[in-house]
Structure 1
Amino acid sequence: MESLIPPLLNGTALGALLLLSALGLTLTFGQMGVINMAHGEFIMAGAFVAYLTQLVIPSSNLSIPVALPLAFLVAGLLGLLLEVGIIQWMYRRPLDTLLVTVGVSLILQQAALQIFPAQGVPVENPAWLQGQIDVFGYAWPLRQVFTIALAGVCVAALAAWLKYTSFGRRIRATVQNRDLAETVGVRTRNVDRITFFVGSGLAGVAGVAASLIGGTNSQMGAQYIIPAFLVVVAGGIGQIKGTVIAAWAVGISMALFADWTTGSLAQVLAFILVVVFLQFRPQGLFTVRTRGLA
């Protein structure tokens, strides 16, 4: 039993990181139908914001709390620019959004290579994240606990925003029937822009968490974009609760497989499990059966 504790804890932390990466896609892909392959580069942007914030703020204890809202803002603005400049012309054409955003992701990767070193730059963990806590004899890194807590806060905030605010009701109306929503006075263009801003901003927050674990580099977005899409699809399109469960299951699977084999093969095996699951339940864990999306 004790041998299962490290992979369960590490897998939960990895699942939280995948959840942070997938939350934004729950909005932009799950609820807007946009296949945004540049989402991974928004994660990268959040990671580089964390690095730049540490350059500006000497105290690493303050830099991460400051970097989180800054990363949300920067990645959100990048997403808003993408939506206004390109995506707004391609709603209901998901394959076109796929092709276009692949090009955007390549442009952002090259831009990062021109600005930052090719080998990436480190992000220092603040003192309050450098320790461990003892869990049944296993020294669990505090940075992993922080990632789980951050994911929990983001999930709660997003679910409350969608369910209890007037703007959340506008999103649901736009998703269910855009034309009818416009006839009752919903400004769907504003809904699209703000939704894309929030979804992209969540990717920036995920980038800060990722930078604390693996540093930064121009290719880091590619490490998270495919797992994030799989998590969203396996959980059920537009379903936050399904995304949470699927992220945790994928994270645990990858950690358990990593105990028996290499990390890259563990990732492949976990993805195969997701693909097999989708063969039996292509709609994912949950489907939209009522007017609520969460």
Structure 2
Amino acid sequence: MTLDTFLTQVFNGLSLFTVLALMAIGLAIVFGLMGVINMAHGELMALGAYMTYLTSLVFARYLPSLMGAYFLVGIVVAFVVTGAVGFVLERSMIRFLYHRPLDTMLATWGLSLVLQQLYRQLFGPIDVSVPTVSWLQGAWNPTPGIAIPLSRIFIIGLTLAVALAVYLFLFRSRWGLRIRSVMQNRAMAGAAGINTERVDAVTFAVGCGLAGIAGSALTMLASTGPVTGQQYIVDTFIVVVFGGVESLVGTFLSAFSIGQLQSMFELVLSGSMAKAAILLLVIVALYFRPNGLFALKVRR
């Protein structure tokens, strides 16, 4: 294996890491705080991708001179729309299913099927794609044998920026203080005057909004279809469990590790065998660390 091939695979692993991290951070917040197994998280990612697609259509038709800015606007639109949908879902369905994990899993799985069919009706069964803005076209060539697309470099930067924003939200804001209080000890947080139901709703909305940003980033890597979310939801749950349900740092490192391992395994194995090998490694690791590699101590 040449150095150029190795570096290319490392960068491919980073590309996979970006989508997994954006998906898994939102899922880890929801799962870690409320214990909600949201099987519709992938469809919310697809919703974010479709919102970016609609934004590109609006700019192409009504604001063609500003087409270079549509992707930045699409990211914001994806976050706001998926966050709003998540808030409505929590208030109308999820809040009635707390402490019933099996019912929650089945309900959100049914919701994912409904959303898939809705996407087929609204956008058609064929995958759609968005145009790459002019300032993200082309590639960076660190060596003559390596070409790194500028769009993927931007997505890596976007992932780091989102991770920093989530950190500041959770550890440098009053809402973050409330969320961490509920995560550590829900009963004591409620006794201290924190509205735990409102915290649940806001947290679920933020987690869904992060899935929307992941979907927006995905449009720069692949096309979007009704079942796009199902292609990532299993890997996302593996990332969250492997890193530790309540640990955002663990989730971030887990996404990086799994992305790199899958990219390297694909050099010598097929795609399906690479996934199987990663799953085997995760099972072995969880045997020795059942709460994940970076699990936090919390009161339940």
When normalised by structure 1's length, the TM-score is 0.95
1:168 Cα shift? 1.0
Letter in 2 for 1:120: D
In the alignment, is the contact (CA less than 8 A) between 1:30 and 1:232 conserved in 2?
A: no
CA RMSD of aligned residues (A): 1.5
The residue that corresponds to 2:235 in the other structure is: 227
Alignment of 1:231-242 (within 5 A): 231-242=239-250
Match of 1:64 in 2: 71
- Are residue 50 (structure 1) and residue 58 (structure 2) matched? no
Q: Which SS does the other structure have where 2:91 is aligned?
A: helix
Partner deviation per Cα, 1:140-162 (whole Å, 9 max, x = no partner): 11121112111101111101111
Deviations 1:130-187 (A, max 9, x none): 2111234410111211121111011111011111111111111112222221221101
- SS of 1:214's equivalent? coil
1:86 counterpart = 2:93: yes
1:103 corresponds in structure 2 to 110
Q: 2-side partners of 1:256 and 1:273: how far apart?
A: 14
The offset of 1:64, in angstroms, is: 0.5
* 2:6 matched residue in structure 1: 4
Identity across matched positions, percent: 41
Q: What is the match of residue 75 of structure 1? A: 82
In structure 2, the residue matched to 1:115 is: 122
TM-score, with length taken from structure 2: 0.93
- Tell me the equivalent position of 1:140: 148
Partner Cα separation in structure 1 for residue 283 and residue 30 of structure 2: 22
Aligned length: 291
Counterpart CA distance in 2 for 1:115 and 1:267 is 32
Preserved CA contact (<8 Å) 1:72 1:204: yes
How far apart are residue 284 of structure 1 and its match? 1.1
Query: Unpaired segments of 5 or more residues in structure 1?
Result: none
CA displacement 1:182-239 (0-9 Å, x = unmatched): 2211011110111011000000000011111111100000011111111111111121
Change (3 A) 1:107 1:288: same
Shift of the alpha carbon at 1:290?
Answer: 7.7
Helix, strand or coil: the match of 2:32? coil
Q: Which amino acid aligns with 2:194?
A: V
- Contact preservation (8 Å) 1:17, 1:148: no
Instruction: Show the counterpart of 2:26.
Output: 24
Q: Deviations over 1:23-52 (max 9, x none)?
A: 110111122210000000000000101110
Q: Structure 2: any 5+ residue segments left out of the alignment?
A: none
Pairing 1:204-223 to 2, within 5 Å after superposition: 204-223=212-231
Q: Do 2:185 and 2:298's aligned partners in 1 also have CA atoms closer than 8 Å?
A: no
AA aligned opposite 1:115: L
In structure 2, the CA distance between the partners of 1:17 and 1:135, relative to structure 1 (3 Å rule), is farther
Moved segments of 4+, more than 6 Å: none
Partners in 1 of 2:10 and 2:282 — Cα distance? 18
